[in-house]
A and B are shown apart, each in its own frame.
Chain A
Amino acid sequence: MTVARKFRAPNRLSMLARANGGMMAKDALAAADAALEPLRAESLAVLDAALAEIESRFGKAAAATRGDGAFQDLYTLALRIIDVSGFLPGSCVDQAAISFCALVDTCSEAGAWRWEAIDVHINSLRLLRTADLNPDQRRAVIDGLNKVSQRRIEDL
């Protein structure tokens, strides 16, 4: 049987965070929001660049070569979109990218690409990023994507 040791470790963060001074949470949050604002344009440029790279390497236009791409590369590009999508609240771009990650995960596990599902995700990301959709329409897009990404290869 494995022997386990249980003990209390010192929590330096706790001791320092309770020190006198500092700020109230509401002020800290306001300061963080203000500090993020200068990164907005740069972050949206990163998002658009990631989407463009996904389209050029894994979209229909790259049909002849996209099969040679690595699952990890597409996964990392989708993660890059999630990283900066906090600047588009309510757009559901983050959720579409999360669904994309789930899809690439299943492709990677199965060792096979699902191009139709990938094309649907790329088109939906572009739509959510650029089109003037209402919240219900955005929700419907995400519901559809989640159904697509959760479907496993053997279900097809």
Chain B
Amino acid sequence: MREPLHASTRINLEKVEVLLVDDSAPSLNLLSQVLLGFGVGNLTRADSAKSAQTLLRERTFDLVISATNMAGVDGYELVKWLRRGALEANRYLAVILVSGHTPPSHVFKARDAGANFTIAKPITPKIVLERILWAAKEDRQFIECETYLGPDRRFKNDGPPNGAKGRRREDPPQALRPPGAQSASSGALESPDSEKAKS
């Protein structure tokens, strides 16, 4: 489980190269101000995904924060492209998508495009900083296959669904128990409450 933001956590964004992408000027201005407040020293703004693609072909960045809903190429397509078509050094960088409307289908779409995290607007500095820290502490490996390139889409390794055979070496031998079923042993999966208590 990812850590919430602590007041005393230290972060240094002075040398981080950030690319901000949004075709809405007010939104771009708000995010820029937030990042400048965080001490980001190298902030580049793009007012369309097309401009962002040009920049990502030419320069190296450390973090991309992009809107999803944009005219022409949208944020999802931008991330998909970035993972395969950007400068080699940019293909594995941290990507945070920002969206005003985030039903589960849109969050899954962002995840399947290869984004690390999604933030729901209206943005608040606390959530933006927390997600940047999560991206900085990202420990998920990258997965590359015919249809996907991006961070491992499994946030937790709870094993394969009930009745399915695990396809990964690290999959636990026991299948995921059905929803609501009690844990069989201390080594089995823990309830969300026990996880919450630990975090």
Interface residues in chain A, defined as those with a beta carbon under 8 Å from any beta carbon in chain B: 2-14, 16-26, 28-29, 31-36, 38-39, 42-43, 46, 75-76, 78-80, 82-86, 94, 97-98, 101-102, 105
Task: Please list 26 pairs of residues, one from A and one from B, whose beta carbons are closer than 8 Å in the complex, sorted by A's number.
Answer: A2-B145, A4-B145, A11-B138, A12-B93, A13-B132, A13-B136, A14-B138, A16-B16, A17-B11, A17-B12, A21-B14, A23-B10, A23-B38, A24-B8, A25-B6, A25-B10, A26-B7, A26-B8, A32-B125, A35-B33, A36-B34, A75-B69, A79-B24, A79-B100, A80-B26, A82-B100
Task: State A135–B75 Cα separation when bound (angstroms).
Answer: 35
Q: Contact check, A25 vs B9: say whether CB atoms are below 8 A apart.
A: yes
How far is the CB of B68 from the nearest CB of chain A, in Å? 9
Closest B residue, CB atoms, query A25: B9
Q: Looking at B93, B101, B146, which has the most chain A CB atoms within 10 Å of its CB?
A: B101
Q: Contact check, A35 vs B34: say whether CB atoms are below 8 A apart.
A: yes
Q: Contact check, B101 vs A82: say whether CB atoms are below 8 A apart.
A: yes
B73 at the interface (CB under 8 A from A): no
Closest B residue, CB atoms, query A7: B142
Q: Looking at A8, A12, A36, A85, which has the most chain B CB atoms within 10 Å of its CB?
A: A12
Closest B residue, CB atoms, query A83: B27
16 more A-B contacts (CB under 8 A) besides A8-B141, A13-B63, A84-B26? A2-B145, A11-B92, A11-B136, A13-B93, A13-B135, A17-B11, A22-B13, A24-B9, A24-B10, A31-B38, A36-B34, A79-B24, A80-B24, A83-B26, A94-B121, A101-B101
Given contacts A31-B37, A31-B38, contact A14 B143 (CB under 8 A): no
Residues of B within 8 A of A11 (CB): 92, 94, 136, 138
Closest B residue, CB atoms, query A49: B26
How far is the CB of B25 from the nearest CB of chain A, in Å? 9
Residues of A within 8 A of B33 (CB): 32, 35-36, 38-39
How far is the CB of B148 from the nearest CB of chain A, in Å? 8
Residues of B within 8 A of A24 (CB): 7-10
Closest B residue, CB atoms, query A93: B122
A32 CB contact (under 8 Å) in B12, B37, B143: B37
B144 at the interface (CB under 8 A from A): yes
How far is the CB of B77 from the nearest CB of chain A, in Å? 16
B158 at the interface (CB under 8 A from A): no
Query: Which are the 8 A-B pairs with shortest beta-carbon distances?
Result: A22-B12, A32-B37, A9-B92, A86-B122, A82-B100, A32-B125, A35-B37, A101-B101
Given contacts A32-B38, A43-B30, A82-B121, contact A25 B5 (CB under 8 A): yes
Q: Contact check, B103 vs A23: say whether CB atoms are below 8 A apart.
A: no
Q: Contact check, A10 vs B15: say whether CB atoms are below 8 A apart.
A: no
Given contacts A17-B13, A86-B124, contact A3 B145 (CB under 8 A): yes
0/1 per residue, B8-48, Cβ < 8 Å to A? 11111111100000001011011001111111000000000
Q: Contact check, A29 vs B146: say whether CB atoms are below 8 A apart.
A: no
B147 at the interface (CB under 8 A from A): yes
Task: State A14–B36 Cα separation when bound (angstroms).
Answer: 18
Task: State A23–B29 Cα separation when bound (angstroms).
Answer: 22
Task: State A26–B94 Cα separation when bound (angstroms).
Answer: 23
Task: State A12–B87 Cα separation when bound (angstroms).
Answer: 15
Closest A residue, CB atoms, query B94: A13
Residues of A within 8 A of B9 (CB): 24-25
